[in-house]
Amino acid sequence: EKEKEREKEGGGKGGNGRNDNSHVGTGVGQKTPMQRKNQSTPKYEKTPWAFVAASVGDCKMFHYSAKRKKISDATYGNRMNVTNASDCGGRLGPYVEETLPDLRNLITFYVPCEEGDLMLGMSDGVHDNLDPESLGKLPFHLDDGIEESVGWNDLSYDRVEFLKSSFQCQWLENCIQTAEAEWEAAEAERGGGER
């Protein structure tokens, strides 16, 4: 029952150290294609900048907060209505009845930003290669609260999305932190100053 409760919340103990939803959609008023009813609208401090966008396909946007040193998935849930990897979930050109655009996956999002933040946009050709399932990982690799016998198809779609997004955010955070450390080490070697 505890596992079912965690699945409802989209959280879990998380072997990757993420038991909060800090990586999940940062968009104020954001609605996924399924119009998620359990997702509350996040509250934010006022910031001088914001990133506002709309997406109709399956590209992903990740926000790196320089202040928190964390990545969040700004487009969390934008592929929840897609079960086939070859289906991008939406198109602007004529598609439906050969005259209308396919807007199944239309999503808008707003991400408050601060100085030094990064927005990472990537096509499915990039983010699909960060998919833990494609990389041979099983759910128990990402959450030690999941038994080894449980496969991806045994979990709810919400739970799969949560685990995969958590993995992608953690992987991207590690890349950025490694690059920053290498840059700072190189600068120290050269006797350079601050960025």
pLDDT for 108 = 84
**Cα gap 110→134, rounded to integer Å:** 29
Label residues 59-75 b or e (16+ Cβ within 10 Å = b): bbbbbbbeeeebbbbbb
- Per-residue pLDDT tens over the stretch 47-102: 888 988 888 777 889 999 999 999 999 888 776 655 555 666 677 777 767 888 87
Least confident stretch, 50-59, 126-135, 167-176, 186-195: 186-195
Extract the runs of DSSP E, i.e. beta strands, from the chain: 49-55, 60-65, 70-73, 91-96, 100-102, 107-113, 118-122
- Per-residue pLDDT tens over the stretch 29-46: 444 444 444 445 556 667
- The total of other beta-carbon atoms located within 10 Å of residue 118's CB is 13
pTM score: 0.69
Q: Cβ contacts of residue 86 below 8 Å, gap of 6+?
A: none
pLDDT for 41 = 54
Strand partners, 122: 60
- Per-residue pLDDT tens over the stretch 79-93: 665 555 566 667 777
Report phi then psi at 47, rounded to 5: -130, 155
Place of tokens 């890349």: 175
**pLDDT score of 20 more than 60:** no
Q: Which amino acid is at 29?
A: G
Query: Number of helices (H) and strands (E), helices first, in the chain?
Result: 4, 7
**pLDDT score of 14 more than 80:** no
The mean pLDDT value for 180-186 works out to: 90
pLDDT for 182 = 93
